[in-house]
Amino acid sequence: MRGRTKNSDLVTQIYESLRQDIIGLRIKPGEFFTERQISEIYNASPTSVRGALSLLKHDGLVKVFPHKGYMISEITLEDMHNLFQFRSVLENANIYYAAQYAEKEQLDHLELLAEGQETSLEPETHSNQTEPNTEFHLYLAQITGNPILLEQLINTIEKLQRLSWMGTPHKFTPASVDEHREIVKLIRTKQVAEAQALMRKHINQVFEIAVSKTLKKVF
């Protein structure tokens, strides 16, 4: 039993490490590797490596080529569409439940996060802008009181981070900041449909930019 637990821990360790390298683009989409290479890096058995790679395959992050090796999955336009569509569904659910259950103090903090994005638009802090934006969306999920919504949003945002390899910008405009402020205001006043419509517009704009950048890179 102890051996199984130790092996399971090693599988998880390899999986988490590789997953972060893939999402963080330290391993690029399209890169090819073998089980032996991973075994040597982690000083792990083929069984442990195979278990970790199976989890990554389930996540859609690697593709298997029998008797040859593995490749980091590339991101297609269909993948982009599906991820943004799912994120839109999650964000709309977050707005609905935040309007139902969030406390005033939580909405006050959400508003502060929206305001904080304005300072990240300054030239000297432009490179830090992704963090306040992501923090806003994750905190909105957190105040729904539903940990599964938060978990799914984290997973989706992590996958979307891989779009940066195609030149998709992570910089947001003053209009985006204004939209976040307005979303908080609408949640406070229980105008759920209006807040959801604005969130969909917000996400669709980012999706359109991502598609445009991708097509320019491809063609």
Phi, psi of 131 (to 5 degrees): -60, -50
pLDDT at 216: 59
pLDDT at 28: 87
Taking the C-alpha atoms of residue 219 and residue 214, their distance in angstroms, rounded to an integer, is 9
pLDDT at 219: 45
Give the CA distances from residue 216 to residues 29, 188, 210, in Å, rounded to whole numbers and listed in that order: 18, 40, 10
pLDDT at 62: 95
Q: What is the pTM of this model?
A: 0.77
pLDDT at 90: 98
* Encoded tokens for 134: 């992501």
> In which region does residue 25 sit, left (phi positive, over 0), alpha (psi from -120 to 50) or beta (all else)?
left
pLDDT at 127: 43
> In which region does residue 67 sit, left (phi positive, over 0), alpha (psi from -120 to 50) or beta (all else)?
left
Residue with tokens 């934006």: 133
pLDDT at 166: 54
Taking the C-alpha atoms of residue 133 and residue 117, their distance in angstroms, rounded to an integer, is 6
pLDDT at 161: 81
Which helix (H) or strand (E) covers residue 63, if one does?
strand 62-65
Of 5, 8, 14, residue with least CA distance to 56? 14
Taking the C-alpha atoms of residue 94 and residue 99, their distance in angstroms, rounded to an integer, is 8
Please list the pLDDT of the chain residue by residue as tens digits (219 residues): 344 456 778 999 999 999 989 988 888 889 999 999 999 998 999 999 999 999 999 988 999 999 899 999 988 888 889 999 999 999 999 999 999 999 999 999 999 999 886 554 454 444 444 577 889 999 999 999 999 999 999 989 988 887 765 555 445 555 678 899 999 999 999 999 999 999 999 999 888 887 777 665 544
